Amino acid sequence: MKTLFEYNWQVRQDWYRWCEEVEAEELLRVRTGGVGSILQTLFHIIDVEWSWIRRMQGKSDTAENFDEYASLQLIRELDSRYKTEVEAFIGSWENRMEHNILEEILPDGRVSQDRWGEILRHLIAHEIHHIGQLSVWAREVGKRPVSANVIGRGLVLSPHERMC
Q: Using alpha carbons only, what angle is made at residue 132 by residues 64 and 42, rounded to the nearest 5 degrees?
A: 20
Structural domains of the chain ordered from first start = 2-163 (1.20.120.450)
Q: Is 21 helix (H, G, I), strand (E, B) or coil?
A: coil
Give the pLDDT confidence score for residue 33 in this predicted structure.
84
Q: Quick one: pLDDT at residue 163?
A: 47
From first to last of the 164 residues of the chain, give the pLDDT tens digit.
899 999 999 999 999 999 999 999 999 999 998 899 999 999 999 999 999 999 999 999 888 999 999 999 999 999 999 999 999 999 999 999 999 999 999 899 999 999 999 999 999 999 999 999 999 999 999 999 999 999 999 997 666 655 45
